[in-house]
Amino acid sequence: MTSETKKLGTRRNSIPVTIGPVTIGGDAPIVVQSMTNTDTADVTGTVDQVEALARAGSELVRVTVDRPAAAKAVPHIRDELDKRGIDIPLIGDFHYIGHKLLESHPACAEALAKYRINPGNVGFKDKRDSQFSSMIETALHYDRPVRIGVNWGSLDQDLLARLMDENAALAEPKELPEVTRAALVASALENAARAKELGMGADRIVLSCKVSDVQSLIGVYGDLAASCEYALHLGLTEAGMGSKGIVASTAAMAVLLQNGIGDTIRVSLTPEPGGDRTREVIVAQEILQTMGLRSFTPLVTSCPGCGRTTSTVFQELAEKIQTHVRDHMPEWREAYEGVEEMDLAVMGCIVNGPGESKYADIGISLPGTGEEPAAPVFIDGKKSVTLRGPNIAEEFQKIVDDYVDSHYKRRSGKAGPSTPSAAAQ
């Protein structure tokens, strides 16, 4: 690609797709989505997790619809979410018997805002075309968009075999990874073409080609993006747990996003036992925000620490402020315009502390080891106050709350927090 196309923020042209109140593709911001890991038949558990994901900032949530009990639960999940005032669109994830579930449970088909179809397991041999067609026809009946989601773990083996035979006949056959990559792209495009033959518009089709290898993902989506104008769902499948999953997902998606590829993203992290599912939402937001593509929440700049900062005070304050901001963002986002773009800095000593603090909207420079026990606070680049004593964290949180209330415009009809410092008590 040329340097011009690599310019940050230059998006690939794609056809926008509306999913309830959310639009992906076209000029719409890149959308963050997630997926529940509850048993969908457990209505309360699933509703609670969808609510948590939505509160964390997921704009679409996918649920597994794998059996009749799950399909029966979907409309009840939708109803309960509506009662709680959560209008986030639900996407049904179908495999193997999706055509039967949609046909047998019309309330489920209607409650879902989009259907995910995997061409590799929607049906086999002679049944594949009829079962895929059945799902598309249901989507057309309810005017629902679909994601045709190809995954290399469940790739259409007949298609792969066909391409392998064609490759073997070449004078210079390609390596297996390249043929597999071509098969992924061909599966997505051929099934999209089939959906269009059945009457589905390109503005109701989203494509994905997920793999679990970073370089393969970059290559596959580069090929797919160059071959169509469909909106693209981006994600590294089976990314892994903890730092491995975060690093792999970031490495793959950052390259593609930098080149303007991707209209919605999902970070597929394996949660640690008892871990919080919302972690993948936060990582997805941080990828987009760190790259300058979207703003979701004020980010806290903080130093890594060194021999000058043997105290854990600045670490604890950085954690408290980041948690405080994230906890308050749902309320702030509703009440104030532009608050998600606020910059904060929590620095551990005077070496870089004052400088970094001056560049932030609000910054604090804490005393390093052996330094005077004073913490200067900078607001909009100017020193405002010096905090001392045991309650620096609480006092700084109140400064942040007051800054939000005084510097960001209230949305029409929305009141700010009645007691800005309450969470700091």
Q: Is the alpha carbon torsion for 324, 330, 335, 339 positive or negative?
A: positive
Q: What is the pLDDT of residue 385?
A: 94
φ, ψ for residue 182, nearest 5 deg:
-65, -35
Mention every residue, 6+ apart, whose C-beta is less than 8 A from residue 73.
Answer: 40, 41, 42, 43, 46
Structure tokens at 306: 């060194």
Q: How far is CA 190 from CA 120, 130, 173, 227, in A?
A: 12, 15, 23, 12
Concatenate the DSSP letters of all residues of 124-174 into one string. Answer: -TTHHHHHHHHHHHHHHHTT--EEEEEEGGG--HHHHHHHHHHHHTSSSPP
The one-digit pLDDT tens for each residue of the chain (425 residues) are: 333 334 455 889 999 999 999 999 999 999 999 999 999 999 999 999 999 999 999 999 999 999 999 999 999 999 999 999 999 999 999 998 999 999 999 999 999 999 999 988 886 666 678 899 999 999 999 999 999 999 877 777 777 788 878 878 888 888 877 888 888 999 999 999 999 999 999 999 999 999 889 999 999 999 999 999 999 999 998 777 888 999 999 999 999 999 999 999 999 998 888 889 999 999 999 999 999 999 998 888 888 877 777 667 777 888 888 889 888 988 898 899 999 999 998 888 777 778 888 889 999 988 777 777 788 999 999 999 999 888 888 999 999 999 999 999 998 766 555 444 333 33
In which region does residue 57 sit, left (phi positive, over 0), alpha (psi from -120 to 50) or beta (all else)? Answer: left
Residue burial 122-132, b: 16+ Cβ < 10 Å; e: rest: bbeeeebeebb
d(CA 279, CA 202): 33
Q: What is the pLDDT of residue 357?
A: 80
Q: What does pTM read for this prediction?
A: 0.85
Q: What is the pLDDT of residue 372?
A: 76
Q: What is the pLDDT of residue 419?
A: 42
44: number of Cβ within 10 Å: 11
Report the relative pairing of strands 382-387 and 375-379 from DSSP bridges: antiparallel
Q: What is the pLDDT of residue 102?
A: 97
Q: What is the pLDDT of residue 142?
A: 98
d(CA 45, CA 39): 8
d(CA 364, CA 378): 6
Alpha helices in 236-352 (DSSP H): 242-258, 279-290, 313-335
